Structure 1
Amino acid sequence: MQGGNLQIGRALALNRARTACFEDSSWDDRLEKLVKLTQRTSLIIDLTGTDATPARIKSYTRQRLQACGIAPNLPRGNPPSYESKAFLKPDDDRLDAAYLVALHFGPRGPGEFSEVEADLGQALDKRLEVYGRYCSDLYPLKDQHHRAPRLGFEDYVVLIQGIKAKVIALHVCRDCKGCQPYSTLQTVTPSCPFCNRMKLDMGMARSEVERRLQQHRSCRHQHLAARHCA
């Protein structure tokens, strides 16, 4: 699922190890965090670059989840894809995606100035940190069984892949200047989710400001004309 050929710092499996999965122990810590967000074997292998077999990864996943007291729930069916026309179609999805993009790329956004993670370990650390920040900022009560994050970790990974593949584009609203990601497969740029959510009507607001300015100028000209005649 991950674009590019990042293989630096990959997770190399230990042979016949009972208490550790990888040669580098930091990967064991990453795996424990990762399996809490996704249990999709193919994605775990892709993000870690591991040489472990899918069967071993599934075994590691079950072990880590059991140690954390979490019941395994291995996903079935097709994973999210930026090649789906339904990806990021709802306004609320694009709102959350905009926040994830801002956290991931920073104020400069994606492009030649964005940071490139050449090391698989550092790349995964960043994704875990960004997604954790997204959850804590927008869904602080999710651990109390309130509203779950609208976009899952897999959606976030696919979002970044889609931007790098230039299938997911970023559009700046000419009214509120908010930047939203959207799928170019939808052929038509969707309406701004920021304006829709906050019920902004910047066009009407600008028209009202312009009307008041014109009224002020007219009154001022009339006042000056009256003084001149006097």
Structure 2
Amino acid sequence: MTDYTPYIITLMKCLGAILAGILLGNGAVYFFNKMPAKWFCDYGETPSAELRDPYTQRIKSNPWKFVFTMFFVAIGVYMVVNDWRFAIAALLAIWLMVEMSIGDIKYGIVPDQLVILLAVSALGFIAYHGSWKDCVFGALIGFGVMGFMGLLGKLMYKKDAVGGGDIKLFASLGLLTGVYGILAIFVMTTIFSAGHFIWLLLRKKAKRTDSRPMVPYATLATIIYLVFLWGRLELWLTL
């Protein structure tokens, strides 16, 4: 007699992932539009009238609710089959990164509140690290690497090449992903940002003195690492 229990469990997991994807996709637009205006301002800066207007759509519902929903459903179903606990933690972290990416693109701000929430989400990944020390060292490396890049950019270009929000973000990402993870994310972020900037220069869509938001590239790198490389990268390196 065939036991259908594993198939039923898998189906329930997928249905749960679909429901979570719908909530996260719609919530990404709703939450971003409802976030306090002061979150998108530098310290001591007064929010603009547009930011303060509760009826202004910072991002449009159409098509972004559909796009985000399809994205979270796809990666949710992919991950939940293997480990639903890890999928929950990863989806939450990715959702926060998406919110920060939108803020960085539209306003050039990485809200500290979202960075703190990302650091708190690291609690969901502790069980997947060999030791809590890996999280601490990852945070220190993330903070140190980005801090060094900021200092180097200041010395070379006489201006802030890396924002304080980016430094704090990488510290939180290091706390979440550990040593291997933050190094992989840093390398991918650098490749993505440099490659895109060179492409824009070749098409004369940007100037060498232009500054580009970093968080979208870090978000793409984080998605790739959490969805496809977590656990596998360490195995490949040890082999």
Q: If the length of structure 2 is used for normalisation, what is the TM-score? A: 0.25
Q: If the length of structure 1 is used for normalisation, what is the TM-score? A: 0.25
Query: Which structure has the bigger radius of gyration?
Result: 1
Larger RCO: 1 or 2 (CA < 8 Å, sep 6+): 1
Q: Looking at secondary structure, tell me which structure has more strand per residue.
A: 1
